[in-house]
Structure 1
Amino acid sequence: MKKSIFFTLIILGIFGNLNAQEDPYLWLEEVDGKKALEFVEKQNKITVDKLTNFKQYDAIYNSSLEIYNDTEKIAYPSVYGEFVYNFWKDKDHVRGIWRRSPKAAYLNGTPQWETLIDIDKMSKEDGVKWVYKGANGLYPKYNRFMVRLSKGGGDATIKREFDVTTKTFVEDGFYIEESKGNASYIDENTLIVSSNFGENTMTTSGYPRQIKLWKRGTPLSNAKLIYEAKTSDVAARGYSLRDGSENYIILGRSITFYEYQTFAWINDKLVKLDIPQDVYISGILNNQLILDLKSDWEVDGITYTQGTVISLNFKDLLENKKTIQQLLKPDEFSSVSGIYTTKSKVLINMLNNVSGELYTYSFVDGKWKQQQIDAPAHGSISVVDLDEFSDEYFFSFSNFLTPNTLFIANASDGSFKALKSRKAYFDGSAYEVNQIKVASKDGTKIPYFIVSAKNMKYDGTNPTLLYGYGGFEVSMDPFYSGTFGKAWLENGGVFVLANIRGGGEFGPRWHQAGLKEKRQNVYDDFHAVAKDLITRKVTAPEHLGIMGGSNGGLLVGVAFTQRPDLYNAAVCQVPLLDMKRYNKLLAGASWMGEYGNPDIPDEWEYIKTYSPYQNLKKGKTYPEVYFYTSTRDDRVHPGHARKMAAKMIDMGHPVLYYENTEGGHAGSSTNEQSARSSAMSFSYLLMKLKK
């Protein structure tokens, strides 16, 4: 999830405090409060006892764990120099190992893995439930990395310098205490750092607002401040943008989740980049700064329309001149889902009617030339990683019935070949996929995918799971899931994926049609898909369930409070639900660019119409909701799910509630936890929907 501006007038703050005092469940916002944890423990026991005693629970858990622990699954690559790095979990490595293999051996299909960090061993020695969160390497040799480790899976991490040659953390090396933020190398002796540097160095969204350059051998307190955002901003941003041998430091402030003010740090001075505030910088190649436009931009009488990908001569831009070339202009049915640069090419991953496509672009004689890669069709294509020293890259393909295949490709000639495929965990030939469009309340056509048995009867009795997200320009692409196939499809279930507004399936316009005062469009779209499934007699309300996490958890909360008559089950995962206080809880203030500011009366007027927590009613019939969250989620506060469950219980509405004690916003830290989560969710759904 991403970013927002925070205006709070004194009088609005008073009203906000009065509203907070009226909430009898505020004590559940105390993450580690004794009373709150007693509530969690009590509800966990009730839920575990009920769901783990379901007749199919053990079978679902065992098959899910087998899938998660499969030693033949794809080891996805991260390429640094001559090595491929990978983070791996299985039954012998519960918390995981960070490892590497020579790239040549990996490409030959016989990787020679050497373990760099054993997270299980480290956790045991330190008495901490460490969760690996990634690493940033030192260009160009990549012999050292800044490794990020979380206590329990939250977004806040410690950063430690690690030597991959000696396989040890560097004695007296760079070390940064637990905080949200990042640290990456500028050179061997310099880091660019965003962190909690002490009092008044964090934004109201809980992210760092200062960027510093830290020299080796000096205390962090002496690091040089090079940029400072406002307290009301979402965050300060600082990163290295490399164009071959040239390295640029890019700085700026995230004013909201979707608005940025961007600078380059040139000769110890800030140089403002005169580009739209809502533009997304996607990389640089041959002095061409690649931009993904989120709104129309007029330059010298030429309008570059929303969704277009353009490039600017970067050195000209630093002199406040604009020399622009267009790479790509999507049509109304397509959108850009990713932009990447190899040594000499730009890769653009597209969605065309929610089906993946892949293109390469070459900058020749001052113009961009396009070539489409003849990649597999009718599914999702994801660029996994690339080699910055060549034009080699990796991409994967899958769809609902086709397991993931990893390909090695070369952008210079368009060639590619399969490197490894994941095995099929269920018989895909027994099922079919259809894409259907339905008119939403305002007439907009909303596509959705339906995955069902080929011999499915349209008699309204099929247990059906409807999944959605609808926010932050995140697209819901077709995906392969062995756990969904084994636990749901093989048990007679139908799976539906909704491409509702708020997402990115059809570009920025699709996302912006669900922002702020237009938010109800998202929920109307979801209702429309549900009603269409019932009209087509795929299912009926007593057999229809819904699932979503994070912003999708909000979607589920709105769905079952606005239209409880449509659903008989709701899996509400790590959700936002109290939209009156969401901006006061953890990273919530950063999302006001998406939802609006509830402390501004005019904006609360539209937020309050859908906020699930405020719209619960005693005496109304709701499905028995299953809430799932994590104590260690430091992005979406567990108080949302806790308070909603407690309020529903006190109103007499039956609910199930489970809170994992670790896992962060992902909900789980180990394969065992993921398998348990899957087994509990699908046991609940089968219990409620398969009659």
Structure 2
Amino acid sequence: MIRSSAAVLAALLASTSLTSVSMAQTASSAPAFATSEATDPYVWLEEVEGERAMEWVKAHNAHSLGVLQGDPRYATLHQQALEIVQSRDRIPSPGFTHDGHIDNFWQDAQHVRGVWRRTTLDSYKTAEPQWETVLDIDALAEAESANWVYKGSTCLAPEERYCLISLSNGGKDAVTLREFDSVTRSFVEGGIYLPESKGGASWINKDTLLVARDFGPGTLTNSGYPMVVKRMRRGESLDQADVLFMGEPTDVSVSGYTLRDADGVLKATLINRSIDFYSSETYRVTDDGAVVKLALPAKSDITGLVAGKLVVSLKQDWTAPSGQDFKSGDLIAWPLDAWLEDPATPAVLVLRPTERQAVEGVNATRNTLVVALYDNVRGSVRVYRPGESEWTYSTLDLPQNVSVGVGSASEVDDKVFVSVTGYLNPSSLWLADAATGAVDQVKSMPAKFDATGMTVEQHEARSADGTMIPYFVVHKADMPLDGSNPTLLYGYGGFESSLLPGYSATVGKLWLERGGVYVIANTRGGGEFGPRWHEAALQQNRQRAHEDFQAVALDLIARNITSQPKLGIMGGSQGGLFMGAMLTQRPDLINAAVIQVPLFDMLRFHKLLAGASWIGEYGDPDIPEQRAWIQAYSPYQNLRAGQPYPEVFIHTSTKDDRVHPGHARKAAARLEELGYPVLFYENTDGGHAAGANLQETARRLALEYTYLSRRLMDTPAKE
């Protein structure tokens, strides 16, 4: 049930010693810090593997590991985390192959790096499927003395015999591509090989690829992603391949892909030019090699091809060439061949979400479109069937008030996998027949923690501008409302990424079961209510998302669920920026912060690794007007002496080639300079996910929850 505590919250706001407004005024009156590379005393920490920087990392790792691993709770938490992440009773994530088999990539204690394996659908539905190994990454890494991390495969339809395997050194986004024969289970001798680079490749046919890579000087965008798409024929070098398209250095990236029907027949060869993180252009490569721009709005995604109908998701209001008006969030469809011939061909509206609805997933079976539709952050699955003037739909009979995810769909028939999960509901996997509506639960997870007596509530908090922000609270039902509960508040708040209810065995075992409260804030910046919910906190409006998160913290305190000594926050990447903003704007509300692989120096984010690709989200610090609103909240510049900052735990990865580890390093260094205690840990492998293998993942989790235990469970609540 959604309840409000407006009166209590208003009183708390009135009595709070430091509001976000006064904090902003305090920050603006203080001397500016690190507003240029020349004035940044810690810019040397941006040298990822520099000798001085790595000595600093080693010293901080030694200190932080000594503190946290020396805590008597660490060993138990680590063992519990390791058992969970290495558990073999997880649901193997299934992927339909074109011949109806099921593929899966699996990691456990015996397959730390993982194994790509395959079985039949009938076998998969049994308790003990009979798997055949296609590629063993552990064995490959050992044989080649390489630190390989598997990043997926792209197989040539319809046979899907020949595949491009993406292999990353230590978890980086940059990958090496190698041709693999899934029938002989071996790499093709003398086959296609593309050296390490960000970007990818797609099959046009067995002897021709669309390739977007680092082709040398002048071929990458300012964001470090490919700017050039080439058509490469077997036997050609990258230098010999034909240039099909070249973007601009200010673009995020360009890439190529193919659109195929359910039989694997090539229907269109396409190039995507990402102008910024949200705006793009799509081009069709004609048979004679010409490149023609398609009549699509800048903010839209091609989401599927069903029975000859092209389905597009709109992220903006748009008047089509046909004169039809559509709304942001709409799903629309055209008959592909007719539309390619004449862009003024009328589209059909498939789905228009309401104000509190959002499309969270779309996939196509042979004859239907399967849509995960959320209403007030609770999911359902609809099956849409194409028609000439309208699409009809039915709703699958699945559990209610949970999260649903549309998984792999068969192009042979209309079968589709659907996942179901909730904060206290172990994940289950259902096989649906979209043609008939029949659903069958084929897998379910055993409970990984004792949820006896626990409950989930959904509340709303009033943000500074009056917008109501939903959030979930997971806790023991007999929790006292006296402010004494150790509470972990999680947030992300960006990139239209929704925080949906889901079962986390590690949160349950390492936190909830031990008496902790877990809270998830559905702030603006996410996609919980569609594109508009995200756009409300873009660029100059970023502070709204920070205020949303602060409002949830205030509401938790107003309800006496927790109190400042018992409240901690956690978030990673963009969520790490979220934590930094909370730390610098409302430190008076929290006693712990887990800041994971964060963005922190927002005046230099666009100059570090993939940062320029996020200008569409945050704005451009090189434009004075935009720099002003960014600097107002940038955590690195707004750290101050004499503030009630708690000891924070910051962690990152040396191998993260997406969010530069310099953000986290500089945050820790600046805090220490100002006299604050800091725990900093840097995994020297792992990439942006901060875990190249399961053992490292378990260690990271144990460190986080040991820290949270020390800060929130050992500290008495205020009287």
Aligning the two structures, in what range does the TM-score lie when normalised by the shorter sequence?
A: over 0.9
CA contact (8 A) 1:25 1:643 kept: yes
Q: Distance in 2 between matches of 1:673 and 1:377?
A: 36
Alignment partner of 1:282 is 2:303: yes
Equivalent residue, structure 1, for 2:356: 333
Equivalent residue, structure 2, for 1:186: 204
Give the TM-score normalised by structure 1: 0.96
Q: Distance in 1 between matches of 2:269 and 2:577?
A: 37
Equivalent residue, structure 2, for 1:467: 490
Within a 5 Å distance, the mapping from 1:611-690 to structure 2 comes to 611-690=634-713
CA contact (8 A) 1:179 1:196 kept: yes
Alignment partner of 1:308 is 2:335: no
SS of the equivalent of 1:608 reads helix
Displacement, 1:161?
Answer: 0.6
Q: Distance in 1 between matches of 2:272 and 2:139?
A: 39
CA contact (8 A) 1:391 1:411 kept: yes
Alignment partner of 1:457 is 2:457: no
- Post-superposition Cα deviations, 1:414-439, rounded to whole Å, max 9, x if no partner, equal 11101111110112232000000111
Displacement, 1:125?
Answer: 2.3
Equivalent residue, structure 1, for 2:256: 238
1:89 to 103, 107, 110: 107
Displacement, 1:109?
Answer: 4.3
Within a 5 Å distance, the mapping from 1:526-545 to structure 2 comes to 526-545=549-568
2:81 to 42, 64, 68: 64
SS of the equivalent of 1:220 reads coil
CA contact (8 A) 2:463 2:548 kept: yes
Within a 5 Å distance, the mapping from 1:167-186 to structure 2 comes to 167-186=185-204
SS of the equivalent of 2:36 reads helix
Equivalent residue, structure 2, for 1:599: 622
Alignment partner of 1:154 is 2:175: no
1:51 to 68, 79, 97: 68
Q: Distance in 1 between matches of 2:162 and 2:267?
A: 18
CA contact (8 A) 1:227 1:252 kept: no
Equivalent residue, structure 1, for 2:39: 22
Give the TM-score normalised by structure 2: 0.92
CA contact (8 A) 1:80 1:137 kept: no
Equivalent residue, structure 2, for 1:262: 282
CA contact (8 A) 1:402 1:428 kept: no
Q: Distance in 2 between matches of 1:166 and 1:109?
A: 28
Task: Out of 179-188 and 624-633, give the one that drifted further.
Answer: 179-188
Going from structure 1 to structure 2, the CA distance change for 1:435 and 1:69 (only over 3 Å counts) comes to: same
Q: Tell me which amino acid in the other structure corresponds to 1:174.
A: I
Q: Distance in 2 between matches of 1:322 and 1:550?
A: 42
Equivalent residue, structure 2, for 1:248: 268
Q: Tell me which amino acid in the other structure corresponds to 1:158.
A: T
Task: Out of 36-45 and 421-430, give the one that drifted further.
Answer: 421-430
Q: Distance in 2 between matches of 1:110 and 1:484?
A: 28
Displacement, 1:301?
Answer: 4.7
Equivalent residue, structure 2, for 1:98: 116
CA contact (8 A) 2:202 2:256 kept: no
SS of the equivalent of 1:222 reads coil
Larger strand fraction of residues: 1
Q: Tell me which amino acid in the other structure corresponds to 1:248.
A: A
Equivalent residue, structure 2, for 1:12: none
Going from structure 1 to structure 2, the CA distance change for 1:346 and 1:147 (only over 3 Å counts) comes to: same
Equivalent residue, structure 2, for 1:9: none
Q: Distance in 1 between matches of 2:361 and 2:473?
A: 25
Going from structure 1 to structure 2, the CA distance change for 1:537 and 1:589 (only over 3 Å counts) comes to: same
Displacement, 1:302?
Answer: 3.5
2:522 to 483, 499, 524: 499
- Post-superposition Cα deviations, 1:234-257, rounded to whole Å, max 9, x if no partner, equal 101211111233431111310000
1:556 to 579, 582, 593: 579
- Post-superposition Cα deviations, 1:566-615, rounded to whole Å, max 9, x if no partner, equal 00000000000000000000000000000000111000111111000000
Equivalent residue, structure 1, for 2:54: 37
Within a 5 Å distance, the mapping from 1:426-437 to structure 2 comes to 426-437=449-460
Displacement, 1:126?
Answer: 2.0
Displacement, 1:17?
Answer: 11
Q: Distance in 1 between matches of 2:576 and 2:256?
A: 31
1:353 to 355, 360, 376: 376
SS of the equivalent of 1:19 reads coil
Displacement, 1:212?
Answer: 1.3
Aligned identity (percent) is 45
Task: Out of 47-56 and 509-518, give the one that drifted further.
Answer: 47-56
SS of the equivalent of 2:484 reads coil
How many residue pairs match? The answer is 677
Q: Distance in 1 between matches of 2:618 and 2:295?
A: 28
What's the Cα RMSD here?
Answer: 1.5
CA contact (8 A) 1:109 1:419 kept: no
CA contact (8 A) 1:273 1:317 kept: no
Displacement, 1:651?
Answer: 1.2
CA contact (8 A) 2:164 2:177 kept: yes
